[in-house]
Structure 1
Amino acid sequence: MQATARKAVALFVAAMMALTMAFIAAPSKAFAATTGDLTITSQSAEFKGKDVKAWQMFSATVTADGKNASYTLNAEWEGLFTTEIGGNMAGLSGEELSQKAFEYVNALGTDEGANVIAFAKKASDWAKKNSIAATSSATASGDSASYVATFSGLAFGYYVVSPQGGSTADRGTDAILANVVTADKNVNLKSEYPTIEKTVDGDNHADAQVGDTLNFALTSKVPNMAEYNTYVFNFVDTLSKGLTLDQGTIKVTIGNLELQKDADYTVSVTGSNGAATELKVIMADFKTKHGDKASQDIKVTYSASINEHAVAGQDDAGNSAKLEYSNDPINGGTGESVPDVTHGYTFDFDITKTDGMDGSALAGAVFQLQKKGEGTPSS
C-alpha cells in the first residue's frame, strides 16, 4: 500500500512538472484589451481649463480580434429610454430594453450627424437633471497648437461626453457621443467658445500723449443660445489708470443694429481717479431679444483720453477685456473668456536745441514734432 501511494505521489509530481514546463514553453496568448483612452481636442484657446465629464451609457465586450462588440445598457440610463425616448421602449426592462436601446442609438447615424448631436444633448441634459454621477472627468490643457482633455483607462463602451458649455455656434450642442472600443479614440470638439477682441484705434496698441483721445472697440459674436432658456452675456473691460473713459461715447451694436441703452443693455462703471476703471456692459434679456442673431458681430465702442496718471515711456499695463457668458443650461452657471489685452505707450519729451559747433543752447529755437504719417510740418 505504501509503495502504491509513493508511486501515485511520484506520478502526480511528474505530471505537475510536465504541466509547468509545458506552460513555460508555450507562447503566451494575446488577451483582448478592455480599456481605452478618449481624447477630446479643440483648436480654441478658450477650451483650456474647461472641465469635461464622461458618462458610460453602454458597457461593451469586445472580441479578441477587436472587430466586433456587444453592448449592455447600464441600469442608471434605463429611465432615459423608457421615459424620455419612449416609443417601443416604454415599459421594457432588462435585456430586451438593452437591445432596443442599442438599436435606437446605432440607428442615429454618424458621430457628426444631426441626430447623434441632438441625442447626445438630450442624454447629457438628462444625466445632469437626474444627478447621474459621471464615470470620469478631465480638464483641458495644452498650448497654441491644440488643447486636449484626455480620459485614460475608460472601460470599453458608449459614452456621453459633455464639456463646459461654449457658444455651440457650429455643432448645435457641446455634448458628444463617443464609442470607445479601441485603445485610442479621438474626437474633435467643433463647438466654439465665446471670444473677445479688444482694439485701440483699429490695432492692439497705440502711441499717444497726455490729452490725446483713443477709440476702443470690443468685438465678439452673438452665441447660439438655442439650448438655453436665458443667457448671460456681459462685456467686462478694464481701463488702466492712465485712461479716462468718456461714458457718453459708449455704443453697442449687433451687425448694423444699434442697441438702446437701458432697454437692451445697462452700463456699470467703477474706479478711476488714479485707479483702474472697470466698464461692464450687461446685456438685457439677451436670449429673448437676440436669440435669432447667432454668429453676428456684437461690438462695444467708446472713447477714452490719456490723463495725467499715465506713466511716460512705459506700457500702459492693465488694459484688457473679457466676456462673462452662460455655460450651463441646466444649472445656470457662467464662465469667462480668455482676456484680450491692448497696449498703450505714452511719451513725454524734454528737448533742447543746441548749436552743432559748440553745443551751446540756441535761443528762440522753434521746431515741431509730429507722428509718422501726419504730413509736412507747418512753417
Structure 2
Amino acid sequence: MSAPTVLGRDPSRLYVRYAIAGDVDAVAEAIRVEQTIEFPADLAPDWIQQEVVGQVEDRDEGSVVISYAAGVYAGGLGQVLNVLWGNVSLFEGVRVVDVQLPAPEHLGLRGPRFGVSGMRSLLGVASRPLLATALKPMGSSSEELAATAGVLAEAGIDLIKDDHSLGDQPWSPWRERVARCAEAVLDANEMAGTSARYLPSLNVPADEVLQRADEAKELGAEGLLVLPGITGFDAMRALADDDDLALPIMSHPSMLGSHVVNPGQGLDHGILLGLINRLAGADMVVFPNYGGRFGFSVEQCAQIRDECAVARPGVRSALPTPGGGMTLERVPEILDLFGQDVVLLIGGALHRGDLRTNATALRESL
C-alpha cells in the first residue's frame, strides 16, 4: 500500500487541505476560526489563539492546509468529523481534498475490525476478488428472499446482503426476514460446502440499532449492512468496536451523495467514501462504480479505491465494493481498475435468466 500525502510534521495534529473557490486568505481565516472556537479570534485569550484556533500551515492559489490540535478533535469520531467538515460544510465553494491523520495514540480510533486480510480469513478466500449481491426486490416475501439467498450461497457467492431499502416492510418484516435468510444461507453452506455470509440491513430506528445488531447475530447473521448517512458514522463505529458483536460491516452510501457530487463543494469521493468509512469501522465500502446508473467517474472511483487501501497507521484497510448497475460482462474491466482486493457487487444482472446458472458462472469465472 502507498503512503498518504504529507501535509505536516506534528504527529499530534490533524491536517486538512481545503480547496477554495474565492479569496483563499479570507476563507482560510474563516475556516480556522469557525472549525474551532466559533468566536471572534481577536477577543479570545492569547493562549486560545495560539493553541486552540486552527493554524494555517500552507496555502496556494486554490487551496489551504489547516491543522488542528489534539485537544480540538478530542472526544471520538463525532468530534473528528465536526472539526473536519462541521460548520465549514455551510460555506460555499469549499471542498475537503486531502487529510493527514494524527498518530494512532492521538486519534484513538480502531477502524475496521477485520479489513482486507480479516475478511479473506473469515471467508477462506486467499487471493481472488470477493463476490457480493443484494436480495431484491422490495415487495418479495421473507420466504422468497430466503430461497434466493440459499441459491446464491450454494452457487458460491461470498456475501449476500439485504438490499439497503429493506427495512421493516409488511411484505418482509425485519426479524422474520433475518431469521429465514440467515437459516437459508447457513443450510446452503452446510449442504454445498460453501462459506457465504448473510448481512441484514440495519435500516432500523436509531434507538434500536445496537439491539437489532445483537439480535441479527443471535438469529444467525454473520455480518451487517449499515447506512451511515442515515444511521450515523459513529453508530457504525460503535458496532465495529463492539467486541461481543464482532461482525464484519459493509457500509452503504445512501444519503451521502450530496456531499460528493458537486465538484466545488463537499468532500472528495475518496475522503468521504474511503477514509471516513474506514475510520468509522467499515470493512467493505459500497459505492457506485463508473459506467453504471450513477455518475461517478473512473477517477473518482480510483480515489475511493486508493483511500480504502492507503497505509494509515493504526487503521486497517477496507475493501472497495463497487456496484450500481454492474453486469457479469464488465467483471474483467472492473478488475483492471480495482485489482484483486475488491468485492464485486452484482445485483439485478444475476437475475436476467437463471439465477443459479448466472451466479455459478460468475463464481467459476474467478
Taking structure 1 as the reference length, what is the TM-score of the superposition? 0.27
Q: Which protein has the larger Cα radius of gyration, Structure 1 or Structure 2? A: 1
Report the structure, 1 or 2, having the larger strand content.
Answer: 1
Report the structure, 1 or 2, having the larger helix content.
Answer: 2
